[in-house]
Amino acid sequence: MEQELPLFPESASTLAPQVDALFLAWSAISIAFTILIAVLIVYFMVRYRRQSVDEVGQAERAPAWLEVAWSIIPLIISLAMFAWGAQVFFEIYRAPKNAVEYWAVGKQWMWKFQHPDGHREINTLHIPVGVPVRLHIQSEDVIHSVFVPAFRIKQDAVPGRETSAWFQATKPGVYHLFCAEYCGGEHSKMTGSIVAMEPEDYQVWLAGGPVGKSMTASGADLFESLACYTCHRPAEETVAAGLAARAPRLEGLYGSEVRLVDGRSVTADEEYLRESILNPAEKIVSGWQPIMPTYQGQVTEEQLSQLLAYIRSLSATTGAPAAPAPTPPISPISPTPSAPRDPAVPARTEGQ
């Protein structure tokens, strides 16, 4: 019904009816009170107008019940609308646990998308109908914003930070994608499309194109190329080789509670991991030395997403608690003799 109303875009996601219903309810209440107030103003102007030049008005006091009524009724309506709005807000910003993860990177003036299996697209994203999609959103330069009117979603892409949005398409079609934040001279041309397809057609489309590496596989390669494994060895490898651990292990880290040297405990979510890579000295894990160098300016936003995807995969496959290794950490200037490495590659860690 909503998509047939003037000025309403097509409704093509599970979130759209909820957003439209809330918008229409607020509009109806606002219009009703506007008309009521306007009618009362006109009525009072006529009813209590001055009849003669020397007429003097008399002070009147409204009954107590009327004072209470015009205070309580708007309060109840406002609280009810707040509760409804909060429920819709949480629905919009909490992706289902079974949501399939895709990645979007904004860059002047284009959108780069990557599928879970490694497929890449520019300014177009193909998705299956009826499947919840969680979009990890980043920016390589300035602020952008993913705006899909038919899905009723809008989420900023903020430099130096990962945001996310989710949606579930309800019918096949091609839906407009816009950048809703001014990002430069070619901002108006930064458009794209979301192509929703039946699951069978989507699988056929996937099979018809070249397959790249998934985000997790790319993250594993980057993890190795940056020599992160010299400090973040798997726990079983460290024990088997009799090596002293240099940094917290990553198996089971994502989503766990991490205790810091200042006594605080934080959750190892995307923001914590991102900060640990770019600014490792900000939150030092209890029991470990601050030996990790910063990777600020050394990895791109896309590479950060790959590393985060790889770390998340370690937690998904192991489920082991994220805790310091039983052996005490060693000094960064005294590497373990039994752990030979290329002297040209500095020891690095992702876990502080």
| Digit-coded pLDDT (tens) for 96-129 | 989 999 999 999 999 999 998 888 899 999 999 9
Q: pLDDT tens-digit profile of 299-334?
A: 888 788 888 888 888 875 544 333 333 333 333 333
> 288 vs 170, which has greater pLDDT?
170
Instruction: Please state the pTM of the whole predicted model.
Output: 0.67
Cα–Cα separations (whole angstroms), residue 318 to 221, 312, 314: 19, 10, 6
Give CA–CA dist 22/63, Å, rounded. Answer: 35
DSSP state of 281: T
Q: Contact at 8 Å (CB) between 252 and 316?
A: no
> Nearest-CA neighbor of 146 among 172, 169, 164, 129?
164
| Helix residue spans in the chain (DSSP H) | 16-47, 64-93, 199-207, 215-225, 235-241, 270-278, 301-318
What was the pLDDT predicted at 147?
A: 95
Q: Helix or strand or coil: residue 27? A: helix
Largest CA distance in the chain: 106
Exposed, middle or buried by CB within 10 Å (0-12, 13-18, 19+), for 9? middle
**Token output for 14:** 């599970």
Mean pLDDT of all residues belonging to the chain: 81
Per the model's pLDDT, the better-predicted residue between 242 and 223 turns out to be 223
**How far is C-alpha 343 from the chain's CA centre?**
39
pLDDT bin (cut points 50, 70, 90) of residue 42 is very high
> Stretch 129-142: mean pLDDT, rounded?
92
